[in-house]
A and B are shown apart, each in its own frame.
Chain A
Amino acid sequence: MDKVRRVISVVVANEAQVLARVSGLFAGRGYNIDSLTVAPIPDTDLSHMTIVTYGNRRVIEQIVKQLHKLIPTFKVIEHTEMVEKEMVLVKFPIEAPLADVRALCEAYNGGIVNAGTEMFIAMAADESARIEHFVDAIKRYHPLEVVRSGVVAMER
């Protein structure tokens, strides 16, 4: 069976151990996590996790069911029609061509977010696949450090 990439949102009770329960479930059952982001949902005692995973149909089905089984799990959304964004921060030496980098960032919903005497930091926010392209494109400017945020997603 072919492996597919899936973005899954999990709404969980915002309580101690819950992240460990979710990540432990993936580790213990041998599922893959590409990225995992988590933050509280405003004005509730719930948290929203976005998990990017891949596997064949049966694995994805098990992941969803096993996530459902966790006692603190409120809702699991297997996204089909979604808006998906990921952020990336990239640090460049000050010698890198600022204008070129800025132009590139702007093509990916970003810009220069910090600059100092030794380095400057650029940001981009876009779909994961486009962030891959961005990271590829900026390689020629010899970035010092690249930090990706992981995906957040919302069903349309």
Chain B
Amino acid sequence: MKMSGAQMVCEAIIAEGVKTVFGYPGGAIMNVYDEIYKQNAFKHILTRHEQAAVHAADGYARATGEVGVAMVTSGPGFTNAVTGLATAYMDSVPLVVISGQVPLSLIGTDGFQEVDAVGISRPCTKHNYLVRSIEDLPRILKEAFYIARSGRPGPVLVDIPKDITGEMGEFIYPDHVNLPTYKPRYKGNDRQIKKAVEAIVKAKKPLLYIGGGTVLSNAYQEVREFAELTQIPTVETLMARGVMGAKNPLLVGMLGMHGSYAANMAMSETDLIISLGARFDDRVTGKLSEFARYADIIHVDIDPANIGKLVDVDYPIVGDVKTVVNKMLEMIREKVDPDRYQVWRDILARYDELHPLSYTDSDEVIKPQWVVERVGELVGSDAIITSDVGQHQMWTAQFYPFDRPRQWINSGGLGTMGYGFPAAIGAKVGVPEKTVINFTGDGSILMNVQELVTAAEYGVPVINIILNNHFLGMVRQWQTFFYDKRYSETDLSYQPDWKKLAEACGGAGYDVTTKAEFDEALRSAMEGGKVTFINVAVDRFENVLPMVPAGGALYNMLLEHKDQ
């Protein structure tokens, strides 16, 4: 069937079952926007910044497990989208970003709004395309969706020159992709899995180390079953919060730079790490030479390049976590002795008793951790929780009772301030029946604050809780610990009137200074059905603890900091 390139883009989006697209029009992508106007098979949400469009598509993808789609124009439209691409790339989020490009005849001439999009995005996309002919377009679109969601997921950019979106061509959307050079491996090697299972049975202090890959592969049931069957204690990374469920007695806690004492000690003392979909990030390992010195390592990952990247692995298994864990379950069922690790579990429980994750509450001033816990009590596992980046992110990861995967959405790998609010919008659009709450800071929220307008226009009632310490808090914390309190450019005392700002854009705002006010504000926000800012004045000098100083050994944690 003959149609224009722009129509092909829309037809592909429909064929892939995408319900909502986020974007921002401009000269080079206008043909596509003209087709969007004419159809009603999918919805388009106009964000107020291209970066937010990509983050929103990213939040949509993480909350729903489907591919997110964002659309931007050439030049500045594309460069604004780069942070969104890099964020999704670092956290392996399936996205297809479609960018307009100047006409083919102008490419390479430094034409108006021209930039080398494929060149710029190469290191921060899983793959990218510059479409050079209308004949290639249907195949490229099909491949883009396939590559984005298969194997280790990731963002794919399709850069389409304006003349191609205007040109007519034959549209036959392929049923299958034919990419002989791209063959993700899902099934782990049976012999390796068998060896790993034998190692688990023999180990005295094994530890399940659960990463974001378990969320991406929807493996949480299998992982929980495996942990429960074997009774092996479990630590979660930042990206895996919710996989085990907050109340699961086998969950020791989150590990890493701001992980719990017990979790980090578990990692330091284990004799066998069973890593599922985790990538041994430097925020998790601390000083590499001191990391898990007594442990053999089983590493299950769909990306072979993750295996052995930083630490030597004894049992490498390349495959999808869900598939591999299923196979391990099958093999271990007969051999399992859940009592075998009782002593090990007792030791970890003792560590947790010695130094539990805690904070000193106060009646004078609201503690940020209290806010997180309170929201946990009031909305719990019913809500999707997003966050920006900073202290509030770590407090949320530490203190929110995450009960299920895809409940916790944040920028882990890239650490993108400004991610949380647009991602919350995307998540709410994708899963409208859930309450969506974004924990943010007075620094982070301003980085994409213009999305108040988007959320108000489309009636997307996400609740932003600003844990406001009038500081760029995490940097301030490092300045306190490591720079002798020289608070260089981290004092954010000058602030907008948050309530008025929210109201000016069509949302609701609350200023909160007491616990009672907070409860009342949250209740009103949940009932109000509007995009909301709850501006909570919290203790200015509260620190995120415990903390493993960057480059330090995981077992050397700062547990308290008295000098405030």
Contacts and interface: CB of A to CB of B under 8 A. Distances in A.
Interface of A: 12-13, 16-17, 20-21, 24, 28, 58, 61-62, 65-66, 68-69, 71-74
Contacts of A61: 308
A72 B305 contact: no
B305 A69 contact: yes
Contacts of B303: 69
Interface size, B (range):
10 to 19
B496 interface: no
Contacts of B179: 71
A66 B309 CA distance: 11
Contact of A71 (B123, B147, B304, B309): B147
B126 to A, nearest CB: 8
A21 B125 CA distance: 11
Nearest to A63: B305
Interface string B217-228: 000000000000
12 contacts: A12-B181, A16-B130, A17-B118, A28-B123, A62-B309, A65-B305, A66-B305, A69-B303, A69-B305, A71-B147, A71-B182, A73-B181
A58 B308 CA distance: 8
B189 to A, nearest CB: 16
Interface of B: 118-119, 122-123, 126-127, 130, 132, 147, 179-182, 303-305, 308-309
Contacts of B182: 71
Contacts of B123: 24, 28
A68 B130 contact: no
List the 4 closest pairs (A to B, CB-CB), nearest first. A65-B305, A71-B127, A28-B123, A74-B181
Contact of B304 (A28, A68, A73, A74): A68
Contacts of A21: 122
A59 to B, nearest CB: 10
A145 B308 CA distance: 44
B305 A71 contact: no
A24 B122 CA distance: 8
A156 to B, nearest CB: 25
A122 to B, nearest CB: 38
A93 to B, nearest CB: 40
Given A16-B132, A17-B118, A71-B182, 10 more contacts: A16-B130, A20-B119, A24-B122, A58-B308, A65-B305, A66-B305, A69-B304, A71-B127, A73-B181, A74-B181
